[in-house]
């Protein structure tokens, strides 16, 4: 049977589900098509895929009614951040107290975010979920798109949103060109036990090979690491014995939290910058990793994606209330201009950071040291950097600004 909806969202990950949840108080009929149903059972050991959620993301998730579900499952707030460079005086520290904040953000497993959003979306009578299903075909009509799913079901939608991740099926299906480059890094993720407690501090060291982050988890001796390094080295680090890996990690991290011990699995992901040339085409919009991917060195990927979802919802609701066609490209141009500009700024900032910290050139090292020292001492400079990291600067959608309930 053919179902007719206003918006079909392809991909029910963190970003796609946030978009569906953002229509909770509206009359719009939504379909979410997700290839994999997430396992609801959380294990004692946290998943290795985690995100550092900014205050702006927390605001969005609170406004969507998903934050409680996140806290009930598992979330680790962090109160400080420390960044330094290996073998250098370059070092900077941020503290929540200085900004009159309780914390600087939360480290949350991606699956926890997805499950809490799914719980919320399942309560919405205006959302139809197609789990463990995929889009197989899409045909564009005059006033709607026709979708055929792998299960044989079919849908029509006024707007189809690609929230289907870095290798977006929808982006490829629409032949949307991609600007991309290789970061020359793979990111290795793992859970690590340390002899010293992390004290709720998120830490990152820059080495000539790349950044290594220790993100504090609920257990005071457990951290989730993101180790960005040359792909061949990452591959070797994944394959070596757990003992050899732990020794390498302890040395790379300047012994900052004492001896490291690997707990559970390791995995490495090749890192690539992707930027879709168009975020909208006729009856199609892209959000999250489907539109852009960036280096995880500042932990901003999903934060950017949640802002896309909140912004697109804001624009679509405005069009809907004005009686406009929500699928027309010309009506979605505002969303495209807004989010392309924000994504471009973030891509440039990540590249700048990566280039600045690359290599061992003594002159560059001196500049980095002076830069960090100045940023730490100049009145207002540190607060400015922190407000950016909290996600409270820039052109924000209403859902990210303040918590309304």
Ligand X SMILES: Cc1cc2nc3c(=O)[nH]c(=O)nc-3n(C[C@H](O)[C@H](O)[C@H](O)COP(=O)(O)OP(=O)(O)OC[C@H]3O[C@@H](n4cnc5c(N)ncnc54)[C@H](O)[C@@H]3O)c2cc1C
Residues that bind ligand X (CB under 6 A): 10-16, 33-36, 51-52, 110, 134-135, 163-165, 169, 187, 189, 226, 269, 288-289, 296, 299-303, 305
State in angstroms the smallest separation of the CB of 106 from ligand X. 10
151 CB-side CA count, 13 A: 13
Burial of 391 (0-12, 13-18, 19+ CB in 10 A): buried
Contacts with 219 (C-beta within 8 Å, 6 or more apart), sequence order: none
- Residue 169: CB atoms within 10 A of its CB come to 18
Q: Which is nearer to ligand X, 207 or 303 (CB)?
A: 303
Q: Which is nearer to ligand X, 277 or 321 (CB)?
A: 277
Compute the least distance from the CB of residue 40 to ligand X, in Å: 15
Q: How far is the CB of 234 from ligand X (least distance, A)?
A: 11
Shortest CB 379 distance to ligand X, Å: 29
- Select 295 or 365, whichever has its Cβ closest to ligand X: 295
Helix (H) or strand (E) holding 176: none
Q: CB of 32: closest distance to ligand X in angstroms?
A: 9
Q: Please identify, using beta-carbon distances, which residue of 364 and 387 lies nearer to ligand X.
A: 387
Is 12 within 8 Å of 288 (Cβ atoms)? no
Query: Could you give the dihedral angle defined by the CA atoms of residues 297, 104, 391 and 308, in that order, rounded to the nearest 10 degrees?
Result: 70
- Check if the beta carbon of residue 269 is closer than 8 Å to that of residue 207: no
**Largest Cα–Cα separation, the chain:** 67
Q: How far is the CB of 226 from ligand X (least distance, A)?
A: 5
Phi and psi dihedrals of 345, rounded to 5?
-60, -40
Cβ count near 355 (within 10 Å):
10
Q: Which is nearer to ligand X, 165 or 397 (CB)?
A: 165
Q: What is the DSSP string of 40-60?
A: -PPPSSPPS-EEEE-HHHHHH
Q: Give the nearer residue to ligand X in terms of CB position, either 107 or 372.
A: 107
**Nearer CB in complex with ligand X: 347/365:** 347
| CA–CA separation, 368 and 374 (whole Å) | 10
> CB-wise, 336 or 365, nearer to ligand X?
336
What residues have CB less than 8 Å from 8, skipping those under 6 apart?
30, 31, 33, 145, 147, 155, 157, 159, 160, 161
- Nearest approach, Cβ of 274 to ligand X (angstroms)? 11
CB 51 → ligand X: shortest distance, Å? 4
């Amino acid at each position: 049977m053919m179902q007719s909806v206003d918006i079909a969202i392809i991909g029910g990950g963190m970003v796609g589900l946030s978009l569906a949840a953002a229509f909770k108080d509206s009359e719009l009929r939504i379909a979410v098509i997700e290839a994999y149903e997430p396992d609801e059972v959380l294990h004692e050991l946290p998943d290795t895929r985690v995100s550092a959620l900014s205050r702006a993301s927390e605001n969005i998730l609170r406004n969507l009614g998903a934050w409680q579900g996140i806290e009930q499952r598992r979330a680790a707030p962090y109160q400080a951040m420390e960044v330094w460079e290996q073998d250098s005086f370059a070092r900077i520290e941020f503290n929540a107290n200085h900004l009159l904040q309780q914390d600087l953000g939360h480290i949350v497993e991606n699956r926890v975010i997805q499950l809490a959003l799914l719980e919320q979306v399942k309560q919405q009578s205006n959302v139809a979920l197609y789990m463990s299903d995929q889009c197989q075909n899409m045909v564009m009509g005059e006033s709607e798109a026709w979708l055929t799913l792998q299960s044989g079901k079919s849908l029509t939608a006024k707007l189809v949103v690609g929230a289907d991740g870095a290798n977006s099926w929808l982006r490829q299906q629409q032949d949307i060109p991609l600007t991309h480059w290789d970061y020359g890094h793979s990111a290795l993720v793992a859970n690590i036990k340390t002899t010293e407690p992390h004290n709720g501090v998120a830490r990152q060291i820059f080495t000539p090979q790349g950044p290594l982050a220790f993100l504090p988890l609920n257990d005071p001796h457990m951290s989730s690491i993101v180790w960005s390094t040359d792909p061949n080295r990452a591959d070797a680090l994944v394959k070596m014995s757990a003992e050899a890996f732990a020794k390498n990690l302890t040395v790379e991290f300047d012994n900052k939290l004492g001896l490291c011990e690997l707990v559970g699995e390791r995995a490495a992901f090749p890192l690539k910058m992707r930027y879709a040339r168009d975020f909208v085409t006729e009856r199609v919009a892209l959000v999250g990793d489907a539109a852009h991917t960036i280096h995880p060195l500042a932990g901003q990927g999903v934060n950017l994606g949640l802002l896309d979802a909140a912004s697109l919802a804001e624009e679509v609701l405005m069009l809907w209330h004005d009686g406009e066609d929500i699928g027309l490209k010309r009506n979605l141009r505002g969303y495209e201009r807004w989010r392309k500009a924000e994504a471009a700024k973030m891509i440039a900032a990540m590249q700048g950071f990566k280039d600045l910290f690359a290599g061992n050139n003594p002159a560059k090292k001196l500049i980095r040291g002076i830069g960090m020292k100045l940023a730490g001492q100049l009145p207002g400079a540190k607060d400015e950097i922190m407000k950016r990291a909290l996600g409270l600067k820039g052109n924000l959608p209403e859902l990210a600004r303040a918590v309304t309930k």
